[in-house]
Amino acid sequence: MKKEAIKFIKTHYLKIIVIVIIITIYISNNYNKTKENVMASEYINDIIKNETIYYNEETTKEIVNEIKKVDIKGQIIFPGVYTFDDGDRIIDVVEKAGGFTEEANTTLINLSKKLTDEMMIYIKSKDEVNMCKLEEELFEHNYNKDDDNNSKLISINYATKEELMILPGIGESKAIAIIDYREKNKFQSITDIINVKGIGENLFEKIKEYITV
C-alpha cells in the first residue's frame, strides 16, 4: 500500500503541486476578502455611529434652542418660570401660573402683549400702584399752602375720594369711610384716622408720612 502511494505521488506529483497551489491561493483570497469585509463592516459601523451621535447632538441642540421661558412673579398664584410657544401672550402664562391674586392690579399691564424668551413679568399689587401714583402726584397736589412743611401732603380733611385712594392701602371703600368720618368729626390730628373703620395702626404707619389734616 505504501509503495503504491509513493508510486502514485511520483506519477502525479505535478498535478498534486498544482492542486496544492490552487487550494493555497483560494484560501488566501478568501482570507483577504473576509478581512476586507470585516474592515469594511467596521468602517461602515463607525460612520453610522458617528452620524448618529452627530444627529443626536444637533437634534438636542435644536430642541434646547427651541425651548423658550418666561419668568412671572409678584401678585400671581404660582409665580415661577414657565415655558411657552411662539405666539403666546401674557394672558396665556398668567393662566398657566394659576391667575392673579386678589391684591393684583392689572390696570397697568397689557395682557395681549406677546411673550419673548427670557422675559420677566412683574404683577404689581394695588398698594404698589397706589404708592407709585402717590410719589408722582404728591408734587402736583398742594394742600394747606400756608404751611410749607405740609404743602405736598394729602389733607385727610379736604382730599377727594380719588385723592385719598392714592394713599397706599386706601381703596374706594376706605376712602369713602374717611370722608364719612370727617363729615361728622373733623380730623384734629393725623392719628385720628385710626378711628376710621378699616384703618388700624398698621395701615396708619404706611400712610402717616403722606397725610396731613
What CATH number did the domain enclosing 98 receive? 3.10.20
State whether 59 and 120 are in the same domain.
no
Residues 29, 45, single domain; the answer is yes
Query: Do 29 and 81 reside in the same domain of the chain?
Result: no
**Res. 7: pLDDT tops 90:** no
Q: Do 89 and 99 fall into the same domain?
A: yes
Q: Could you tell me if 31 and 85 lie in one domain?
A: no
Q: Is the separation of the CB atoms in 123 and 106 below 8 Å?
A: yes
**Same domain? 168 vs 190:** yes
Averaged pLDDT of the chain: 77
Distance CA 165, CA 131 (A): 10
Total domain count, the chain? 3
pLDDT digits (tens, 9 = 90+) for 132-163: 766 666 545 544 444 455 556 899 999 999 88
Which position has the higher pLDDT, 51 or 106? Answer: 106
Q: In this structure, are 103 and 141 located in the same domain?
A: no
Instruction: Please count the residues of the chain.
Output: 213
pLDDT tens-digit series, residues 28-41 = 665 555 555 555 56
**Same domain as 118, residue 134:** no
Domain boundary among 80, 104, 124: 124
Mean pLDDT throughout 7-28? 63
128 — pLDDT class (breaks 50, 70, 90)? confident
DSSP 150: G
Instruction: Say whether both 104 and 179 belong to one domain.
Output: no
Q: What is the pLDDT of residue 64?
A: 53
One domain for residues 147 and 198:
yes
Same domain (yes/no): 22, 98? no
User: Looking at residue 200, what is its pLDDT?
Assistant: 86
144 and 204 share a domain?
yes
Q: List C-alpha distances in Å: 133 to 37, 76, 89, 123, 150.
A: 82, 22, 27, 16, 18
Residue 138, domain CATH = 1.10.150.320
Among 91, 124, 157, the domain-final residue is: 124
Domain holding 75, by residue range, is: 67-124
